[in-house]
Amino acid sequence: MGKFIDYLKTRSFAINLAIAISTVIIVVMAAFFSLGVYTRHGSGIPVPKLDGLPVERAIELLDKQGFHNPQIDSVYVLDQTPGTVIQQDPDAGTNVKENRTIYLTIVTRKAPNVSLPDIEQKTYREAMAMLSNFGLKVGDTTHKADIARDRVLEVRFAGQTIKTGDKIPKGSKIDLVLGDGAGASEVDVPEVVNLDLDEAKFAIKNSGLVIGTITYEGTITDSTKTIIKAQFPMKTDSSAKVSIGTHINLTVTQKN
């Protein structure tokens, strides 16, 4: 043991130790630099900026840079042009090796279908909000005669009437037919002959017409027991409709 300790103190041991340490350092440094050269550490090809480009143009640019066969995924994004790149990995400007796989996310060219929500008889504002929640838009609006103003009477897509639950592509424009609040310009003449006077009045007013002259025929002993004997105008084959606000004249007699 004493001889070994004495050897450690000799110049020969110090030289050998120094040579061994130097050799280790040289080997490590050589391996490090060799690895860097092999992997082209610190060098590479910059990834081009692809966001916002049509996917065909993006693939063309990648090919020119030496990046072939990119991995492409697609998502639906409302109001984005189909086939457009919206995300890339690695990011633009990143230096990577040639043939590195580039991942692209594009806007799908085929929108998913959604169900038409129940918007009939809803107000225009309510319909707009509901359609927006389903990823749909309001297209053209037209009006037709109806007593309810700006209420949805009919829903159309691509010129065809559609109903609640029908499947349509997300992002589509839906045309709405709304009530004009004025009602129809003409209405059917109600038939009130043989009705009680009160029933006749209700039917006339409910049709958007006005009670005209009431003529009493014969002796009326009880006003609560009267019926309609005749009306003018009356419903006929040649005159089934009259304008809103038309006066209906009544002839009333005592009920037997």
Structure confidence by residue, pLDDT tens digits, 173-220: 999 999 887 666 778 899 999 999 999 999 998 888 899 999 999 888
133 burial via Cβ count (<10 Å: 0-12, 13-18, 19+): exposed
In the chain, where the domains are located: 2-38, 45-107, 113-180, 186-254
C-alpha dihedral, 11 to 15 to 21 to 22, nearest 10° = 150
83: nearest Cα among 93, 75, 91:
75
Q: What is the pLDDT of residues 103-127, one digit of tens each?
A: 999 998 888 899 999 999 899 999 9
Rounded CA-CA distance 187/235 in Å is 11
Q: Which fold has domain 45-107?
A: Trypsin Inhibitor V; Chain A (3.30.10)
Same topology between domain 113-180 and domain 186-254: yes
User: With contact defined as beta carbons under 8 Å apart, do 136 and 172 qualify?
Assistant: yes
pLDDT at 222 over 60: yes
What residues are paired with 107 via a beta bridge?
75
pLDDT given at position 241: 83
pLDDT given at position 6: 62
CATH of domain 113-180: 3.30.10.20
- Give the range among 11-15, 33-37, 180-184, 222-226 with minimum mean pLDDT: 33-37
Q: Which CATH class is domain 186-254?
A: alpha beta
User: With contact defined as beta carbons under 8 Å apart, do 153 and 134 qualify?
Assistant: no
3 state SS of 240? coil
User: With contact defined as beta carbons under 8 Å apart, do 50 and 104 qualify?
Assistant: yes
What residues are paired with 114 via a beta bridge?
168
Which pTM value belongs to this model?
0.47
pLDDT given at position 9: 62
User: With contact defined as beta carbons under 8 Å apart, do 126 and 158 qualify?
Assistant: no
